[in-house]
Structure 1
């Protein structure tokens, strides 16, 4: 039948995400564009694939059957791309990369410079997306690989069709308005404008506990996000429920609010580099981490362009390749 990969991908994403709007967000289309893809697919098959139920749409039996086969078709197509790449005498081709804001600002630029130098035949097309969406985007074939985050307290569910390789680990500290915890002034690891180091000559810093913030307002993402749930889990383990004064997802906005004195939040060094801020950063007695990971489909492990970019990312983050890796997760990504 005369259909396109874009049409099949729209149908597959609809089974994953449930609404036309969500599919549009995932694929970078407008909702009308997604509807057009599905309509064209119905014309190609001569069958009705969707039906309306109130304000929602759902797959017909024919739609569900085609969606199942469409996943296999798209996987076979991706495997064919990998096989063709391996026949070339040089590493060349186009990669679609999904990434979150911090990765876009700090991790991808140096990696792209190295790719241009080492593999000039590789073209990278990047796309900013919600960090919690990158796993589904890779699984659905929307992107070829993605940079994501994982939290030991609330690990991302593992899809056996994906490879998740840890690139680096970051430990969280507590960001508080300057002078907000005067009794603990000597616990300030840095009091920074644009990340300036503390040169006060104080003795080694003492650590502050999350429990010391029980009376303070917090700035956090929604608890529906993995990040929000990870912070909530850590606070509950410390024996209190954080008082969320401002529900904010954007890191730069969070730092601005802390600087303005309206609340506290947890931060990593990478997050602090997103916005020059004047605030106090206190070392936490609790160990709270996030893992920066690269995600790609298992069968693409030996695709030359994917392997090349993964190697560059490992090099740029200082992560050596593990001796042995397992499907679904990297050996280094211990929990």
Structure 2
């Protein structure tokens, strides 16, 4: 049948995410664009693949059957790309990488400079996305690999089809409005127990990791401002409305007038690169992973080597 990979991927993502809007966010399309992909797929198959249930959509039996096979088709296609790359005398090709804000600002640029130097035939296309979505994006094939985060206190579930390579680790510190704790440079999390907090939603891995650490320190953080954006968090701390935890990479996103205090507890996050297991020997993927790991051997000031 005359269908495209983009159409099949839209259908597969719909089985993962449940709504047209969520699929659009995952694939970088508009909701109308996703609907057009599905409509074109229905025309190609001559069958109804979706039905509306109130404001939601669900797969028909035909849609569910095709989605199952579509996942296999997309995997086979990716394996074919890998096999073709291995027949070339030089490492060349296009890679799609997913990344979160800190990675986009601090980690990817030096890696891109290096990959151009050592493998000029490799083209890298990047997509900014929610850090909690990068694992699903790799599994679904919307990106070839991704830079992500993992938290020892709240480990992200490991899909057996993925490979996760740690690049380096960062310890968290406590960010407080300037002058809030004069004369102190090292404190326990419990010292901030009476302050208002600025944190992401507890539905995020980051939010749950901070909540777990605070509970272990003996208090429940009073979240006054639920914020995902790091730069906005730093701005709010600077304005004096609350405290938060930060890493050195996070601090580099926005110069801020605030106090950063070392924590007595070890609270950290791991910067990782994620790719599908069958792509481990794909030349372009292996080359970019090697470059990322080499750059991680020289992490930004304050980051601990993994």
Normalised by the length of structure 2, the TM-score is 0.97
Q: Does 1:297 align with 2:276?
A: yes
Alignment partner for residue 256 of structure 1, among 220, 235, 255? 235
Deviation for aligned residue 1:240: 0.5
Instruction: Give 1:115's aligned residue.
Output: 115
Q: Distance in 1 between matches of 2:32 and 2:71?
A: 23
Instruction: Give 1:126's aligned residue.
Output: 126
Instruction: Give 1:241's aligned residue.
Output: 220
Deviation for aligned residue 1:186: 3.5
Instruction: Give 1:150's aligned residue.
Output: 150
After the TM superposition, which segments of 4 or more aligned residues of structure 1 sit over 3 Å from their partners?
Answer: none
Instruction: Give 1:100's aligned residue.
Output: 100
Verify the 8 A CA contact 2:230 2:253 in the aligned structure 1. yes
Instruction: Give 1:57's aligned residue.
Output: 57
Instruction: Give 1:220's aligned residue.
Output: 199
Q: Distance in 2 between matches of 1:48 and 1:279?
A: 57
Verify the 8 A CA contact 2:7 2:41 in the aligned structure 1. yes
SS in 1 for 2:263: coil
Alignment partner for residue 186 of structure 1, among 181, 184, 187? 184
- Superposition map of 1:35-50 within 5 A: 35-50=35-50
Deviation for aligned residue 1:79: 0.2
Instruction: Give 1:18's aligned residue.
Output: 18
Instruction: Give 2:164's aligned residue.
Output: 164
Q: Deviations over 1:158-177 (max 9, x none)?
A: 00000011000000000001
Q: Deviations over 1:218-261 (max 9, x none)?
A: 00001011000000000011111001111111111111111111
Instruction: Give 2:302's aligned residue.
Output: none
Alignment partner for residue 230 of structure 1, among 188, 209, 221? 209
Q: Distance in 1 between matches of 2:124 and 2:73?
A: 24
Instruction: Give ranges in structure 2 of 5+ residues lacking alignment.
Output: 299-304
Instruction: Give 2:256's aligned residue.
Output: 277
Q: Distance in 1 between matches of 2:29 and 2:224?
A: 34
SS in 2 for 1:224: coil
Normalised by the length of structure 1, the TM-score is 0.88
Deviation for aligned residue 1:181: 1.3
Instruction: Give ranges in structure 1 of 5+ residues lacking alignment.
Output: 188-206, 320-331
SS in 2 for 1:158: coil
Q: Distance in 2 between matches of 1:247 and 1:48?
A: 41
Paired positions, count? 300
Q: Deviations over 1:44-75 (max 9, x none)?
A: 11111101111110000110000000000000
Instruction: Give 1:310's aligned residue.
Output: 289
Instruction: Give 1:328's aligned residue.
Output: none
Instruction: Give 2:66's aligned residue.
Output: 66
Q: Distance in 2 between matches of 1:265 and 1:309?
A: 33
Verify the 8 A CA contact 2:184 2:261 in the aligned structure 1. no
SS in 2 for 1:227: helix
Q: Deviations over 1:121-164 (max 9, x none)?
A: 00000010000000000000000000000000011010000001
Query: Aligned-residue CA RMSD in angstroms?
Result: 1.1
SS in 2 for 1:292: strand
Q: Distance in 2 between matches of 1:79 and 1:283?
A: 46
Verify the 8 A CA contact 2:14 2:23 in the aligned structure 1. yes
